[in-house]
A and B are shown apart, each in its own frame.
Chain A
């Protein structure tokens, strides 16, 4: 799975199968602070993700 982490401007390749919430935990983020974009679409955290998906983790917190 290709994962782009916006806050760190970093791309990672992962072998992962599970929900958006589980991916956030694996990456050690807090679900209050990030959102999951799956193949260009915003998804709820219980959405199942597979290795074929293109994932973007975007930060909720911005500004000052």
Chain B
């Protein structure tokens, strides 16, 4: 197969592009998403939430290339054999590209590593997500935006997951950016229109050499099930993922996306109840009184 823009061999089938034109396509898609959804101003100070995986690494690299003021924040949940590998890679990557990297750990900030919390029989993904979101917000007060590496696959999965769980309030809160709310740093998703496969190809062609890692707790998650079903559907009906996202954006009703927020009486972070989810779980685990 040849590139649809030149005579070179294609490295991807759909869209069929050679290396040079594919790299341009990815970077252009990010720029267009930023512009169309007004995600960033050139003066913004941006914190990229990084895991050390291909998505956050690609996002960090492209935002830096587009000349934005970026720093990186990684959360070390304390997952042996997984997070330590990605953090090592992340440290090297940030050094190479001269990007400031901040690392905050569950052990220091929450009081326990995730591995130890899971031993108590608590569900890993729910706990991990809650603590990660909480720490991410806590340590990004001084930034204008938090950029995350969520891609088209992640977002199509999230739409389906919320539909399957009939979580209307969460359904209304998705999209390329969160609304501006007191106590929260605004989150943006510049990779919103790029498929996971496209980001993987970009990271290979750029020679990022991201290590292959899988979270040991993610295998049996609800998301993994939805992801597998959606991938099956995409091969049978190409374009399904993008259609889900486009239809979602068309139907999204931002007017109903209002929560009455207060601030946690224990840690001061914004939340919908008297005590935030993170402190509630820490109380349950006996990490705070």
Residues of A with Cβ closer than 8 Å to B? 6-7, 30-33, 35, 42-47, 58-64
B10: chain A residues at CB < 8 Å are 44
A44 touches B1 (CB 8 A): yes
- Rounded to whole angstroms, the CA-CA distance of A6 and B232 in the bound complex is 20
Q: Which residue of B lies closest to A45 (CB)?
A: B13
- Rounded to whole angstroms, the CA-CA distance of A64 and B201 in the bound complex is 19
B13 touches A62 (CB 8 A): no
A59: chain B residues at CB < 8 Å are 212
A60 touches B197 (CB 8 A): yes
With contacts A7-B212, A35-B200 known, what are 20 further pairs, Cβ within 8 A?
A6-B212, A30-B228, A30-B231, A32-B197, A32-B231, A32-B234, A35-B201, A35-B204, A43-B11, A44-B10, A44-B11, A44-B13, A45-B13, A47-B1, A58-B200, A58-B212, A60-B200, A61-B227, A63-B54, A64-B125
Q: Which residue of A lies closest to B200 (CB)?
A: A60
Residues of B with Cβ closer than 8 Å to A? 1, 9-13, 16, 51, 53-55, 125, 128, 196-197, 200-201, 204-205, 210, 212-215, 217-218, 227-228, 231-232, 234-235
Central interface residue in A35, A46, A64, by most chain B CB within 10 Å: A64
B1 touches A35 (CB 8 A): no
- How many Å from the CB of A42 to the closest CB on chain B? 5
User: Contacts A35-B201, A42-B204; is A60 near B196 (CB within 8 Å)?
Assistant: yes
- How many Å from the CB of B283 to the closest CB on chain A? 25
A63 touches B51 (CB 8 A): yes
B234: chain A residues at CB < 8 Å are 32
A31 touches B212 (CB 8 A): no
B218: chain A residues at CB < 8 Å are 63-64
A44 touches B214 (CB 8 A): no
B11 touches A62 (CB 8 A): no
Would you list the 10 A-B pairs with minimal beta carbon distance, nearest first? A64-B215, A63-B53, A32-B231, A64-B218, A44-B10, A60-B200, A44-B1, A60-B197, A46-B1, A44-B13
A33: chain B residues at CB < 8 Å are 231
User: Contacts A32-B234, A44-B9; is A63 near B197 (CB within 8 Å)?
Assistant: no
- How many Å from the CB of B44 to the closest CB on chain A? 26
Which of A44, A61, A63, A64 sits near B12, CB closer than 8 Å?
A44
B125: chain A residues at CB < 8 Å are 64
